[in-house]
Protein backbone atom coordinates (compact mmCIF):
# COMPACT_ATOMS: atom_id res chain seq x y z
CA UNK A 1 0.00 0.00 0.00
CA UNK A 2 2.81 2.37 0.95
CA UNK A 3 4.62 1.49 -2.27
CA UNK A 4 1.57 2.31 -4.37
CA UNK A 5 1.16 5.67 -2.68
CA UNK A 6 4.85 6.43 -3.18
CA UNK A 7 4.61 5.57 -6.89
CA UNK A 8 1.55 7.72 -7.24
CA UNK A 9 3.31 10.66 -5.66
CA UNK A 10 6.28 10.26 -8.01
CA UNK A 11 4.00 10.25 -11.04
CA UNK A 12 2.25 13.32 -9.72
CA UNK A 13 5.54 15.14 -9.19
CA UNK A 14 6.74 14.17 -12.71
CA UNK A 15 3.58 15.46 -14.30
CA UNK A 16 3.82 18.65 -12.28
CA UNK A 17 7.46 19.08 -13.32
CA UNK A 18 6.64 18.62 -17.00
CA UNK A 19 3.75 21.09 -16.81
CA UNK A 20 5.94 23.61 -15.04
CA UNK A 21 8.69 23.16 -17.63
CA UNK A 22 6.27 23.62 -20.51
CA UNK A 23 4.88 26.73 -18.86
CA UNK A 24 8.35 28.20 -18.35
CA UNK A 25 9.45 27.37 -21.89
CA UNK A 26 6.33 28.90 -23.39
CA UNK A 27 6.76 32.24 -21.59
CA UNK A 28 8.50 34.93 -23.60
CA UNK A 29 9.58 37.86 -21.49
CA UNK A 30 12.37 40.14 -22.59
CA UNK A 31 15.20 41.05 -20.24
CA UNK A 32 13.89 38.96 -17.38
CA UNK A 33 17.05 37.43 -15.99
CA UNK A 34 15.56 34.91 -13.48
CA UNK A 35 13.10 33.66 -16.07
CA UNK A 36 15.82 33.23 -18.69
CA UNK A 37 17.91 31.24 -16.23
CA UNK A 38 14.93 29.09 -15.31
CA UNK A 39 14.18 28.35 -18.99
CA UNK A 40 17.81 27.49 -19.60
CA UNK A 41 17.84 25.11 -16.67
CA UNK A 42 14.67 23.41 -17.83
CA UNK A 43 16.10 22.93 -21.33
CA UNK A 44 19.24 21.39 -19.87
CA UNK A 45 17.14 19.13 -17.67
CA UNK A 46 14.91 17.91 -20.49
CA UNK A 47 17.65 17.58 -23.16
CA UNK A 48 18.31 13.86 -22.50
CA UNK A 49 14.59 13.11 -22.61
CA UNK A 50 14.13 15.09 -25.83
CA UNK A 51 17.15 13.38 -27.43
CA UNK A 52 15.86 9.92 -26.61
CA UNK A 53 12.38 10.80 -27.85
CA UNK A 54 13.81 12.21 -31.09
CA UNK A 55 15.88 9.06 -31.65
CA UNK A 56 12.92 6.80 -31.02
CA UNK A 57 10.57 8.75 -33.26
CA UNK A 58 12.99 9.57 -36.10
CA UNK A 59 12.29 6.38 -38.13
CA UNK A 60 8.59 7.11 -37.92
CA UNK A 61 9.14 10.73 -38.92
CA UNK A 62 11.45 9.71 -41.79
CA UNK A 63 8.97 7.15 -43.06
CA UNK A 64 6.13 9.63 -42.79
CA UNK A 65 8.20 12.26 -44.62
CA UNK A 66 9.05 9.77 -47.36
CA UNK A 67 5.39 8.91 -47.84
CA UNK A 68 4.31 12.55 -47.69
CA UNK A 69 6.99 13.69 -50.24
CA UNK A 70 7.03 10.55 -52.41
CA UNK A 71 5.73 12.27 -55.54
CA UNK A 72 8.29 15.07 -55.19
CA UNK A 73 11.15 12.58 -54.75
CA UNK A 74 9.97 10.54 -57.71
CA UNK A 75 9.77 13.60 -59.92
CA UNK A 76 13.23 14.71 -58.80
CA UNK A 77 14.71 11.27 -59.52
CA UNK A 78 13.11 11.18 -62.95
CA UNK A 79 14.46 14.64 -63.73
CA UNK A 80 17.96 13.61 -62.62
CA UNK A 81 17.73 10.42 -64.66
CA UNK A 82 16.61 12.35 -67.74
CA UNK A 83 19.48 14.81 -67.27
CA UNK A 84 21.95 11.94 -66.96
CA UNK A 85 20.57 10.29 -70.10
CA UNK A 86 20.86 13.59 -71.96
CA UNK A 87 24.49 13.98 -70.87
CA UNK A 88 25.25 10.44 -71.96
CA UNK A 89 23.55 11.09 -75.29
CA UNK A 90 25.58 14.25 -75.83
CA UNK A 91 28.77 12.37 -75.03
CA UNK A 92 27.90 9.59 -77.49
CA UNK A 93 26.99 12.10 -80.17
CA UNK A 94 30.25 13.94 -79.61
CA UNK A 95 32.22 10.70 -79.85
CA UNK A 96 30.28 9.73 -83.00
CA UNK A 97 30.97 13.14 -84.56
CA UNK A 98 34.67 12.85 -83.80
CA UNK A 99 34.78 9.33 -85.27
CA UNK A 100 32.85 10.41 -88.37
CA UNK A 101 35.20 13.36 -88.88
CA UNK A 102 38.23 11.10 -88.48
CA UNK A 103 36.90 8.68 -91.06
CA UNK A 104 36.00 11.50 -93.42
CA UNK A 105 39.58 12.76 -93.22
CA UNK A 106 40.85 9.26 -93.91
CA UNK A 107 38.71 9.12 -97.04
CA UNK A 108 39.57 12.56 -98.37
CA UNK A 109 43.20 13.07 -97.35
CA UNK A 110 44.93 11.46 -100.34
CA UNK A 111 48.69 11.96 -100.11
CA UNK A 112 49.25 10.04 -103.33
CA UNK A 113 46.68 11.85 -105.49
CA UNK A 114 48.61 14.99 -106.43
CA UNK A 115 46.26 17.27 -108.35
CA UNK A 116 43.67 14.62 -109.17
CA UNK A 117 40.12 15.97 -108.89
CA UNK A 118 37.98 14.06 -106.39
CA UNK A 119 34.47 14.08 -104.97
CA UNK A 120 33.88 12.92 -101.40
CA UNK A 121 30.90 10.64 -100.82
CA UNK A 122 29.29 8.81 -97.93
CA UNK A 123 28.54 5.10 -98.08
CA UNK A 124 24.78 4.89 -97.61
CA UNK A 125 24.30 1.18 -98.13
CA UNK A 126 26.58 -1.84 -97.92
CA UNK A 127 26.11 -5.33 -99.30
CA UNK A 128 22.50 -6.48 -98.88
CA UNK A 129 22.62 -10.09 -100.01
CA UNK A 130 24.66 -13.06 -101.08
CA UNK A 131 24.74 -11.84 -104.67
CA UNK A 132 26.30 -8.43 -104.04
CA UNK A 133 28.83 -8.99 -101.30
CA UNK A 134 31.32 -6.82 -103.15
CA UNK A 135 29.32 -3.64 -103.79
CA UNK A 136 28.35 -0.55 -101.81
CA UNK A 137 26.16 2.43 -102.66
CA UNK A 138 27.37 6.02 -102.25
CA UNK A 139 25.36 9.24 -101.98
CA UNK A 140 26.86 10.95 -105.03
CA UNK A 141 25.99 10.33 -108.65
CA UNK A 142 25.74 11.77 -112.13
CA UNK A 143 24.69 15.18 -110.83
CA UNK A 144 27.97 15.38 -108.91
CA UNK A 145 30.21 14.52 -111.86
CA UNK A 146 30.44 10.79 -111.15
CA UNK A 147 30.86 8.53 -114.19
CA UNK A 148 30.96 4.79 -114.61
CA UNK A 149 34.47 3.34 -114.46
CA UNK A 150 36.01 6.00 -112.22
CA UNK A 151 38.33 4.92 -109.43
CA UNK A 152 37.03 4.94 -105.85
CA UNK A 153 39.63 5.45 -103.12
CA UNK A 154 40.32 6.32 -99.50
CA UNK A 155 43.45 7.68 -97.89
CA UNK A 156 44.69 4.09 -97.66
CA UNK A 157 44.35 3.43 -101.38
CA UNK A 158 42.11 1.92 -104.03
CA UNK A 159 38.82 0.40 -102.86
CA UNK A 160 37.03 -0.18 -106.19
CA UNK A 161 35.46 1.40 -109.22
CA UNK A 162 32.12 2.95 -110.11
CA UNK A 163 30.01 0.20 -111.67
CA UNK A 164 26.66 1.99 -112.08
CA UNK A 165 25.58 5.63 -111.89
CA UNK A 166 22.21 7.21 -111.17
CA UNK A 167 21.40 10.88 -110.79
CA UNK A 168 22.07 11.07 -107.04
CA UNK A 169 23.73 7.75 -106.16
CA UNK A 170 26.28 5.33 -107.56
CA UNK A 171 27.14 1.67 -107.13
CA UNK A 172 30.77 0.84 -106.33
CA UNK A 173 32.29 -2.54 -107.20
CA UNK A 174 34.83 -3.28 -104.48
CA UNK A 175 38.41 -4.38 -104.97
CA UNK A 176 37.64 -7.61 -103.08
CA UNK A 177 35.50 -8.83 -106.00
CA UNK A 178 37.30 -11.65 -107.86
CA UNK A 179 35.57 -10.46 -111.04
CA UNK A 180 37.24 -7.04 -110.92
CA UNK A 181 40.67 -7.23 -112.62
CA UNK A 182 43.14 -4.46 -111.87
CA UNK A 183 46.43 -3.69 -113.56
CA UNK A 184 49.14 -3.20 -110.96
CA UNK A 185 52.83 -2.43 -110.68
CA UNK A 186 55.19 -4.06 -108.18
CA UNK A 187 57.24 -1.13 -106.94
CA UNK A 188 60.19 -3.27 -105.82
CA UNK A 189 60.79 -4.79 -109.26
CA UNK A 190 58.81 -2.41 -111.49
CA UNK A 191 57.01 -5.41 -113.00
CA UNK A 192 53.46 -4.95 -114.26
CA UNK A 193 50.75 -7.57 -113.96
CA UNK A 194 47.06 -8.21 -113.61
CA UNK A 195 45.42 -9.06 -110.30
CA UNK A 196 42.04 -9.57 -108.64
CA UNK A 197 40.42 -10.13 -105.28
CA UNK A 198 40.14 -13.48 -103.53
CA UNK A 199 36.66 -14.83 -102.86
CA UNK A 200 35.94 -15.28 -99.17
CA UNK A 201 38.88 -13.14 -98.02
CA UNK A 202 38.35 -9.37 -98.50
CA UNK A 203 41.86 -8.60 -97.24
CA UNK A 204 43.75 -10.41 -100.01
CA UNK A 205 44.49 -9.67 -103.64
CA UNK A 206 46.36 -11.94 -106.06
CA UNK A 207 48.51 -10.88 -109.00
CA UNK A 208 48.56 -14.03 -111.10
CA UNK A 209 49.02 -12.87 -114.69
CA UNK A 210 51.72 -11.03 -116.53
CA UNK A 211 54.77 -11.28 -114.26
CA UNK A 212 57.25 -13.89 -115.58
CA UNK A 213 59.14 -16.28 -113.34
CA UNK A 214 62.87 -15.51 -113.55
CA UNK A 215 64.96 -18.05 -115.45
CA UNK A 216 67.56 -18.54 -112.70
CA UNK A 217 65.54 -17.78 -109.56
CA UNK A 218 67.44 -14.57 -109.03
CA UNK A 219 66.25 -13.18 -105.64
CA UNK A 220 66.40 -9.63 -106.98
CA UNK A 221 63.72 -10.56 -109.50
CA UNK A 222 61.16 -11.15 -106.76
CA UNK A 223 59.37 -8.37 -104.88
CA UNK A 224 60.31 -8.21 -101.21
CA UNK A 225 57.69 -8.95 -98.60
CA UNK A 226 56.13 -5.69 -97.46
CA UNK A 227 56.98 -3.82 -100.66
CA UNK A 228 54.28 -1.70 -102.25
CA UNK A 229 51.84 -2.62 -105.00
CA UNK A 230 50.19 0.28 -106.87
CA UNK A 231 47.99 0.82 -109.89
CA UNK A 232 49.90 0.52 -113.15
CA UNK A 233 50.42 3.31 -115.67
CA UNK A 234 48.04 3.25 -118.63
CA UNK A 235 45.61 1.04 -116.73
CA UNK A 236 41.94 1.81 -116.19
CA UNK A 237 42.88 3.89 -113.14
CA UNK A 238 45.26 6.76 -112.45
CA UNK A 239 48.79 5.50 -111.84
CA UNK A 240 50.37 4.88 -108.46
CA UNK A 241 47.26 4.59 -106.32
CA UNK A 242 48.19 2.21 -103.47
CA UNK A 243 46.68 -1.24 -103.74
CA UNK A 244 48.50 -3.08 -100.96
CA UNK A 245 51.76 -4.71 -99.93
CA UNK A 246 53.38 -7.97 -101.00
CA UNK A 247 52.92 -10.90 -98.64
CA UNK A 248 54.27 -13.86 -100.61
CA UNK A 249 55.45 -15.00 -104.06
CA UNK A 250 54.89 -18.46 -105.54
CA UNK A 251 55.31 -19.97 -109.01
CA UNK A 252 52.21 -20.06 -111.14
CA UNK A 253 50.91 -22.93 -113.23
CA UNK A 254 53.74 -24.45 -115.25
CA UNK A 255 56.29 -22.34 -113.37
CA UNK A 256 56.16 -19.60 -116.02
CA UNK A 257 54.66 -16.78 -113.96
CA UNK A 258 54.81 -15.37 -110.48
CA UNK A 259 51.75 -15.49 -108.29
CA UNK A 260 52.05 -12.57 -105.87
CA UNK A 261 49.73 -12.49 -102.88
CA UNK A 262 48.99 -8.94 -101.75
CA UNK A 263 47.44 -7.64 -98.54
CA UNK A 264 45.03 -4.87 -99.49
CA UNK A 265 45.84 -1.42 -98.10
CA UNK A 266 42.21 -0.37 -97.63
CA UNK A 267 39.65 -2.18 -95.50
CA UNK A 268 36.82 -2.59 -97.99
CA UNK A 269 34.55 -4.17 -95.36
CA UNK A 270 34.35 -1.03 -93.21
CA UNK A 271 33.76 1.97 -95.42
CA UNK A 272 31.94 5.07 -94.17
CA UNK A 273 33.29 7.66 -96.65
CA UNK A 274 35.14 7.38 -99.94
CA UNK A 275 36.50 9.68 -102.62
CA UNK A 276 35.76 9.26 -106.31
CA UNK A 277 38.56 10.28 -108.68
CA UNK A 278 36.62 12.23 -111.30
CA UNK A 279 39.04 11.97 -114.21
CA UNK A 280 37.84 10.67 -117.56
CA UNK A 281 37.57 6.91 -117.01
CA UNK A 282 39.04 4.23 -119.27
CA UNK A 283 36.28 1.67 -119.43
CA UNK A 284 37.89 -0.82 -121.81
CA UNK A 285 38.10 -4.15 -119.95
CA UNK A 286 41.55 -5.64 -119.31
CA UNK A 287 42.99 -8.11 -121.81
CA UNK A 288 44.47 -10.95 -119.74
CA UNK A 289 45.64 -12.68 -122.90
CA UNK A 290 48.12 -9.85 -123.44
CA UNK A 291 49.67 -10.44 -120.04
CA UNK A 292 50.38 -14.14 -120.45
CA UNK A 293 54.00 -14.86 -121.47
CA UNK A 294 54.20 -15.85 -125.10
CA UNK A 295 56.30 -18.79 -126.19
CA UNK A 296 59.04 -17.98 -128.70
CA UNK A 297 57.93 -18.19 -132.31
CA UNK A 298 54.26 -17.64 -131.57
CA UNK A 299 52.42 -16.20 -134.56
CA UNK A 300 49.32 -14.81 -132.85
CA UNK A 301 50.62 -11.26 -133.10
CA UNK A 302 51.21 -10.78 -129.40
CA UNK A 303 54.36 -9.08 -128.27
CA UNK A 304 56.91 -10.90 -126.16
CA UNK A 305 56.33 -9.76 -122.63
CA UNK A 306 53.36 -8.03 -121.06
CA UNK A 307 51.16 -5.19 -122.03
CA UNK A 308 51.00 -1.92 -120.16
CA UNK A 309 48.75 -1.82 -117.14
CA UNK A 310 45.81 -4.16 -117.21
CA UNK A 311 45.84 -4.86 -120.90
CA UNK A 312 44.76 -1.50 -122.29
CA UNK A 313 48.19 -0.68 -123.71
CA UNK A 314 49.63 -1.61 -127.06
CA UNK A 315 48.97 -5.02 -128.46
CA UNK A 316 46.54 -6.84 -130.74
pLDDT above 60: residue 53: no
Query: In this predicted structure, what is the pLDDT of residue 285?
Result: 53
Across the range 242-262, mean pLDDT stands at: 92
Query: In this predicted structure, what is the pLDDT of residue 34?
Result: 54
Are the C-beta atoms of 123 and 159 separated by less than 8 Å?
A: no
Q: What residues contact 185, with CB distance under 8 A and at least 6 apart?
A: 191, 192, 229, 230, 231, 232, 233, 239, 240
Cα separation, 22 vs 205, in Å, equals 97
Cα separation, 30 vs 36, in Å, equals 9
Model pTM? Answer: 0.61
Query: In this predicted structure, what is the pLDDT of residue 292?
Result: 43
**156-193 pLDDT tens trace:** 999 999 999 999 999 999 999 999 999 999 999 999 99
Q: What residues contact 308, with CB distance under 8 A and at least 6 apart?
A: 183, 192, 232, 233, 234, 235, 314
H or E stretch including 271? Answer: none
Cα separation, 283 vs 103, in Å, equals 29
**134-152 pLDDT tens trace:** 999 999 999 999 999 999 9
Confidence grade of residue 228 (pLDDT, cut at 50, 70, 90): very high
Are the C-beta atoms of 233 and 208 separated by less than 8 Å?
A: no
Across the range 263-287, mean pLDDT stands at: 83
Confidence grade of residue 310 (pLDDT, cut at 50, 70, 90): very low
pLDDT above 70: residue 130: no
Closest to 142 in 3D by CA, of 119, 167, 118: 167
pLDDT above 70: percentage of residues in the chain? 56
Query: In this predicted structure, what is the pLDDT of residue 191?
Result: 92
Q: Return the domain boundaries, the chain.
A: 2-68, 178-265+285-316
Q: What residues contact 260, with CB distance under 8 A and at least 6 apart?
A: 186, 193, 195, 206, 207, 208, 211, 223, 229, 246, 248, 249
CATH code for the part of the protein at 178-265+285-316: 2.40.10.350
pLDDT above 70: residue 41: no
**187-218 pLDDT tens trace:** 999 999 999 999 889 999 999 999 998 887 77
Amino acid sequence: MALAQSAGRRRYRLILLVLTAVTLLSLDFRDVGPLDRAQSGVRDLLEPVVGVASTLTSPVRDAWGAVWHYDDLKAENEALRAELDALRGEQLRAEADVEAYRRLLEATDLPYSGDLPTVAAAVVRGPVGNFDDHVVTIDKGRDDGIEMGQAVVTGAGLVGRVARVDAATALVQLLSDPDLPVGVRLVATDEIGLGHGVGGDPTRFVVDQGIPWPAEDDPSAFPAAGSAVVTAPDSRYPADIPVGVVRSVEPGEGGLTQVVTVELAADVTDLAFVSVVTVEPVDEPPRPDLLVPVTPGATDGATDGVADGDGTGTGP
